[in-house]
Structure 1
Amino acid sequence: MKRIETEIIINAPPSKVHDVLLDFAKYAEWNALLPSIKVYKGDAAAPVGSTLEVRLALPGKSPMTIYPIVRVNDERKLAWEGAVVHSILFSGVHAFECEPIEGGAKTKLLQYEDFSGWLLPVLGSMISSAEGGYNSMNEALKKRVEGSV
């Protein structure tokens, strides 16, 4: 297994950060890494078990569309899991965790992805380019959330 993990402090409560993360319709306005997310199968609120249609634009790579399944969606965490053909070949669990700090006035956002599967060595360059994209997304999310507080 391989993990990519990034974090950032956002000057807003976790509920505000979570609201922006779930406002998929506005991702194109601020999110270069994930310029489009739609609920493909399931309710618009993306409950656990929903399938998303995610447009992924990793730095230096051709954009691709993936169809992950929402595994967690609560007030502090949003996570989905995607696989190539079957999870034994390649899968990734992508998560955003919103930890309240300073009495809940600020959020420590942890964005990470755990990759596994037989194709992990072959897809190493894709995974390596993801960390820069996650850091850029964190910065864009911070600007988006703090600009609307």
Structure 2
Amino acid sequence: MAFVIDASVDIDAPVELVWEVITDLARYGEWNPFVPECRSTLVPGEPIDMLVQVSGAKPRRQREWIRSNTPGHELSYSMKPVPLGALHSLRSHTVTALEDNRTRYESHFELAGWLQPVVSAALGKNLQRGFTGMTAGIRKQAESLRTP
């Protein structure tokens, strides 16, 4: 059974602006408490290099791989699977336009494999806090950049 963290939030900003916040990796340090540094071409198959700040721990560098990028709608990436099915992950950001120039942002993270219970027990609460902080940061950043 996978360890899953899902969150969604409605944002008072147009979908194009929310997408820009998600994909403007150079500005993550301005608003993202979980991933304050991030670099990638966002091209499927290419790496995404992140500095991940799990609360209470020293920030660590992490490399994952872009799985999909549908501009204006969805971006996903995953870790390189650990041999023998020990551990694999999927992370996605999805945006959907709503009425009145608003956007629904959906965050999805899943971790699976036979090592997942150990990793989830050790990091689960901190991962939840991290993804919650990132979701709130996307909302705050997008709403602060929108024009009235």
Q: Same fold (TM over 0.5)?
A: yes
Alignment counterpart, residue 63 of structure 1, candidates 51, 59, 73: 59
Q: Distance in 2 between matches of 1:26 and 1:119?
A: 33
Equivalence for 2:45: 49
Distance 1:101 1:146 in 2: 15
- CA positional deviation for 1:49: 1.1
Shift of 1:111: 0.6
Question: What one-letter code is carried by the residue in structure 2 that aligns with 1:72?
Answer: S
Q: CA deviation at 1:117?
A: 1.0
Q: Which residue of 1 aligns with 2:98?
A: 101
Give per-residue Cα distances to partners, 1:6-60, cap 9 Å, x unaligned.
1111111222111111111111111110011112xxxx3x111111111111223
Which residues of structure 2 form unaligned runs of 5+?
A: none
1:139 maps to which of 127, 136, 139: 136
Deviation at 1:85, TM superposition (A): 3.6
> What is the root-mean-square deviation in Å for CA atoms of aligned residues?
1.6
**Cα distance in structure 2, aligned partners of 1:79 and 1:94:** 5
Larger helix proportion, structure 1 or 2? 2
Aligned counterpart for 1:76 among listed residues 52, 61, 73: 73
Give the whole-Å Cα distance in 1 for the aligned partners of 2:68 and 2:76.
5
Does the CA contact (< 8 Å) of 1:90 and 1:117 recur in 2?
yes
User: Matched residue of 2:85: which SS?
Assistant: coil
